[in-house]
Amino acid sequence: MEYRKLIKFGNSSHVISLPKSWLDSQGINKGDVIYFEENENGDLIISSKEYKDTDEGKHLTINIDGLTEKEIQLEIVSGYIKEFRKIILKGKEIKNKATEIRKILHELIGIEIIEQTKSKIIAKDFLNICEIKLEDLRKRLNSVVMNMIKDSKLGGEEASYKDIQNRDYDANKFTYVLLRVIRRGLEKPNVRKSIGLTKLELAHEQHTVLAMERIADIAKWISRTDNEANLTENEIEELNKIHSTVLENYRLALNSYIKKDYTNSCKAVSINKKIQSSCDNVKTNLKSSEAFKITHLLREMSNNIAIIGEAGFMNTESTIGKISYEEKEHNL
């Protein structure tokens, strides 16, 4: 590693000399402009070129022939999260699958279909990721997930299930955009700086968002199972006791994650263990297969809430343990 001495220049500036070998390799001459930015560690990164978004011209072409609807959805969503500016779908089966494809595309924020023929659909991404605030999006996702859990309480009406099903589309939309922002931040230091999170914090954010999306899916499955089943009043009462605990623990886990509350994040993980025990104990009072299925779903929902709790206490310093450093011995 080379080093340079800092030289005072004027009243408020300092200068360093740059290696001639680097200047020559970059084609930089006297009077040229160089660029620098500070990363999250406080290091200055010097470059001969201004940062530009190299993703602007990226296009993705997908041949949909032979793919199932789920496979097409996964390909489109993957391309959306990876920020391809155009997604081109081709194939002989376009005509028969156009309705499903349009539905998938319309669920993505900022995506517009700009061309469609019997063998091709072209969608363009108009979303400006730089204008997206991660915290605001997470709040919107949380609002959707929270209400989905509330409305999945057993014994609800058929209208509640249909409403939850519609809100699941909103949960997916916010999740996909959040994953785009997180992925961009993990890849690009300047985006991390604007977001105000480190790489590790973004990794925890990714785990949290994915857990929230799974919780929304489970709420939908609970509501659907309840809607199709004929549970007894006793089964509904017993399962709703667990459901209420799960809902309160979700509030605790997410609020603790946002506030970086180490103690309550740990508490949310501990409550999950009690919920797992409750799911084991309630089985003796259940009779129908649907009731057992809902018990399993509540268990899975609680496990995903515990993931948020784990992200919370991994994202902040312990308030229980004390951090110390071993002093180095000095040779006289």
* Tens-digit pLDDT profile for residues 98-137: 999 999 999 899 999 999 999 999 999 998 877 788 899 9
Nearest by Cα to 76 from 66, 88, 65: 88
Q: Is the pLDDT confidence value at 25 over 90? A: no
Examine residue 179 and state whether it is found in any structural domain, yes or no: yes
Q: Are residues 207 and 107 in the same domain?
A: no
Instruction: Pick the more confident residue, 92 or 327.
Output: 92
Lowest-confidence region among 143-157, 196-210, 270-284, 307-321? 307-321
Q: Are residues 153 and 215 in the same domain?
A: yes
Examine residue 163 and state whether it is found in any structural domain, yes or no: yes
Q: How confident is the model at residue 14 (pLDDT cuts 50, 70, 90)?
A: confident
Q: Is the pLDDT confidence value at 282 over 70? A: yes
Contact indicator for 316, 261 with CB cutoff of 8 Å? yes
Q: How confident is the model at residue 254 (pLDDT cuts 50, 70, 90)?
A: very high
Q: Are residues 251 and 150 in the same domain?
A: yes
Amino acid at 24: D
Torsions phi, psi for 8 (to 5 deg): -70, 135
Contact indicator for 305, 215 with CB cutoff of 8 Å? yes
Residue 91: the pLDDT is 95
End of a domain among 94, 125, 156? 125
Lowest-confidence region among 158-162, 245-249, 295-299? 158-162
Q: Are residues 227 and 120 in the same domain?
A: no
Lowest-confidence region among 11-25, 113-127, 292-306? 11-25
CATH of the domain at 86: 3.30.110.20
Q: How many residues does the chain have?
A: 332
Lowest-confidence region among 41-45, 67-71, 75-79? 41-45
Query: Which residue is listed with tokens 């609002």?
Result: 143
Percent of the chain with pLDDT over 90: 63
Examine residue 232 and state whether it is found in any structural domain, yes or no: yes
Residue 58: the pLDDT is 85
Examine residue 332 and state whether it is found in any structural domain, yes or no: no
Q: How confident is the model at residue 38 (pLDDT cuts 50, 70, 90)?
A: low
Lowest-confidence region among 19-33, 87-101, 169-183, 208-222? 19-33
Q: How confident is the model at residue 139 (pLDDT cuts 50, 70, 90)?
A: very high
Query: Which residue is listed with tokens 């180095």?
Result: 328
Nearest by Cα to 268 from 238, 300, 313, 299: 313
Residue 94: the pLDDT is 95
Lowest-confidence region among 81-85, 186-190, 286-290? 186-190
Lowest-confidence region among 58-62, 130-134, 181-185, 257-261? 130-134
Q: Are residues 283 and 137 in the same domain?
A: yes
Q: Is the pLDDT confidence value at 186 over 80? A: yes
Q: Are residues 23 and 40 in the same domain?
A: yes
Q: Are residues 184 and 151 in the same domain?
A: yes
Q: How far apart are CA 275 and CA 264, in angstroms?
A: 16
Examine residue 324 and state whether it is found in any structural domain, yes or no: no
Query: Between the CA of residue 315 and those of 205, 256, 289, what are the distances in Å?
Result: 9, 10, 40
What tokens does 329 get?
A: 């011995």
Range of the domain at 20: 7-47
Residue 306: the pLDDT is 97
Q: Are residues 246 and 287 in the same domain?
A: yes
Q: Are residues 149 and 194 in the same domain?
A: yes
Examine residue 53 and state whether it is found in any structural domain, yes or no: no
Q: Are residues 103 and 222 in the same domain?
A: no
Q: How confident is the model at residue 209 (pLDDT cuts 50, 70, 90)?
A: very high
Q: Are residues 207 and 70 in the same domain?
A: no
Examine residue 162 and state whether it is found in any structural domain, yes or no: yes
Nearest by Cα to 265 from 247, 252, 251: 252
Percent of the chain with pLDDT over 70: 90
Examine residue 154 and state whether it is found in any structural domain, yes or no: yes
Q: Is the pLDDT confidence value at 320 over 60? A: no
Look at the chain and report how many structural domains it folds into.
Answer: 3
End of a domain among 125, 151, 180? 125
- Give pTM, 2 decimals: 0.79
Residue 154: the pLDDT is 93
Q: Are residues 86 and 223 in the same domain?
A: no
